[in-house]
Structure 1
């Protein structure tokens, strides 16, 4: 029979104060505003914290400050990895100010988005980021600064909008394929604000060139399965297609699967370009040409907008476009003709 010693008690702020020879209130001051404490006392408190392995209670800090130091982020689908860089950019700007991000996946549907937002608001987040499709009125009375990340069909009144220039990005994709010599180009699109702007920029550039317009899935979803189905439809109706532009990298992955299933090769038979420059596109296995929507920079500016409005409620909402960039990899080439 093995005897286990009782688990050691977690150190408290009172233990830190006793070891440092100061009051508990001074320990609290060091934790919240160390610049207001003399070097000698601050160093004594920090040494005691290190020796004891003390970790401040976030709940206690929240009660003391009336803020949770948390930001809520609503995304529409974990399977679409574009939000990874957005989250990374947000955290790079928020962490230094002591904020953490709480993530909620809504999946398609206004009610689900509302539920996800309500769940985060119930946790008393200090700010909210919507990277999904809200209605214009769904966040009425939210009571916290709100930023919409990326083009959406509806932007709640009073919310900031920080987005990549999707119209410009769609135009970049078209120019790249036209520059390679493609004139029979298909586009896999979907519902939602971002897809609509990417489609508009793409089609505008094609019209300028006189190339034929071939669109699939304009009112559907933007998942890998949607990309596969739309590519099948496109190749059934336009078998001479030599290039495909997908509204996002996830749809492009579906396109690659559909092309392979028909015994065709990328880019020898059909070139494929995606959008978002997600971790999928960067994979050495896929080497997917993609338009970088600079989600990392969008995330940084989203965080800055929230922090500015948390500090000063009088700061008004802003609209900001961030320029995309084309990243050419191995899935696009000149057509074989």
Structure 2
């Protein structure tokens, strides 16, 4: 008897199928299927009609999660940022202490922040903690209309979004004050080139230099948030008139500065002092020992979790801005005597 060919298993229709057929984004289709605000009536009808035609059925587990308290906090973070990993680790501890579980959703080169947030919403999180979000204010406000949203480390004007961060201005001022106390005058700032908090840190550097009577010595170089940015900027710097000290946008940028100084045959801090920002694990490595501004990841994480918990309890959150502390290590020292 001839064997009949096996039928291929029927694939379940997904939300992405509905979105594609309706000509809308997956995020908008998700809003419609959840019955949330944010979609026009015409769009809503079209998505629902397409869903019926394709036989789309929302996951019953997701419906169950949305119908009761899930005690889930969603967290978005950037894979390439080491400090984000430290914050995530601290969020786990703070969330557990507050009775929450954590769902992570990474942002990467091939995974935009919008997709990371959609994944959290589909998982039924009660609130979203977004570490240094890059989404536009109107996008963040849209997420906040669905669940409480906390922007961690990054200020934003988005309506309905809480911000938990350290005072970046105070941190940079502390770094400049430290260098001035060591006799430095020619202090250069390598900026973050549009990265989160870059403008605030640059403004704080300028203000601090003016306050110490060093307005004529203000110099800001275009940098960035990564080692290559610091290496490039400092490479040009040490090829010319070498300053007394550098305040880098963050620790990764500072590591690039250290490498450029090494390649130039100079010594830190004898020839050039270097300070970073974040006090990340990189700065604490035994062969680095970078002077850096600490944002205190555990304290910020606890504040972010407490903020989300307050919103879920219809309470007003407190303690949203924290004072950073300068951690002095081996990369800063007395100003060199220039001939």
TM (normalized to structure 2)? 0.73
Question: Is 1:181 matched up with 2:179?
Answer: no
- Contact 2:66 / 2:124 at 8 angstroms: preserved in 1? no
Whole-Å separation in 1 of the counterparts to 2:224 and 2:288: 22
CA apart distance, 1:221? 3.1
* Structure 1: gaps spanning 5 or more residues: 1-58
Question: Is 1:85 matched up with 2:86?
Answer: yes
CA apart distance, 1:148? 0.6
Q: Name 2:229's counterpart in structure 1.
A: 226
Residue aligned with 1:266, SS:
coil
Q: Name 1:172's counterpart in structure 2.
A: 174
CA apart distance, 1:113? 2.1
- The 5 A counterparts of 1:100-115 are 100-107=101-108, 112-115=112-115
Change (3 A) 1:227 1:100: farther
1:12-51 CA distance string (max 9 Å, x none): xxxxxxxxxxxxxxxxxxxxxxxxxxxxxxxxxxxxxxxx
2:261 paired residue among 249, 259, 262: 259
Whole-Å separation in 1 of the counterparts to 2:330 and 2:90: 27
1:93-144 CA distance string (max 9 Å, x none): 21134422223332489x9222222222222211111112221111344311
Residue aligned with 1:206, SS:
helix
CA apart distance, 1:316? 4.7
Q: Name 2:302's counterpart in structure 1.
A: 300
Change (3 A) 1:244 1:79: same
Q: Name 2:19's counterpart in structure 1.
A: none
1:242-266 CA distance string (max 9 Å, x none): 2111111111111111111111111
- Contact 1:135 / 1:155 at 8 angstroms: preserved in 2? no
Residue aligned with 2:320, SS:
strand
Question: Is 1:201 matched up with 2:179?
Answer: no
Question: Is 1:213 matched up with 2:215?
Answer: no
- Contact 1:160 / 1:318 at 8 angstroms: preserved in 2? no
- The 5 A counterparts of 1:51-130 are 63=65, 66-75=68-77, 77-107=78-108, 112-130=112-130
- The 5 A counterparts of 1:33-44 are none
Whole-Å separation in 2 of the counterparts to 1:281 and 1:178: 21
Whole-Å separation in 2 of the counterparts to 1:273 and 1:221: 15
TM (normalized to structure 1)? 0.74
Whole-Å separation in 1 of the counterparts to 2:106 and 2:81: 11
Change (3 A) 1:108 1:156: farther
CA apart distance, 1:267? 0.8
CA apart distance, 1:199? 1.6
1:39-82 CA distance string (max 9 Å, x none): xxxxxxxxxxxxxxxxxxxx79x65972333222222x333222
CA apart distance, 1:272? 0.7
Of the structure 1 ranges 248-257 and 319-328, higher mean CA displacement relative to structure 2 is found in 319-328
* Structure 2: gaps spanning 5 or more residues: 1-60
Residue aligned with 2:160, SS:
coil
Moved over 3 A (4+): 62-65, 315-319
- The 5 A counterparts of 1:25-40 are none
Whole-Å separation in 2 of the counterparts to 1:334 and 1:105: 42
CA apart distance, 1:184? 1.2
Residue aligned with 1:278, SS:
coil
Change (3 A) 1:64 1:333: closer
- Contact 1:74 / 1:105 at 8 angstroms: preserved in 2? yes
Q: Name 2:322's counterpart in structure 1.
A: 322
Whole-Å separation in 2 of the counterparts to 1:94 and 1:65: 21
- Contact 2:69 / 2:126 at 8 angstroms: preserved in 1? yes
What is the total number of aligned residue pairs between the two structures? 271
- The 5 A counterparts of 1:230-309 are 230-236=233-239, 238-309=240-311
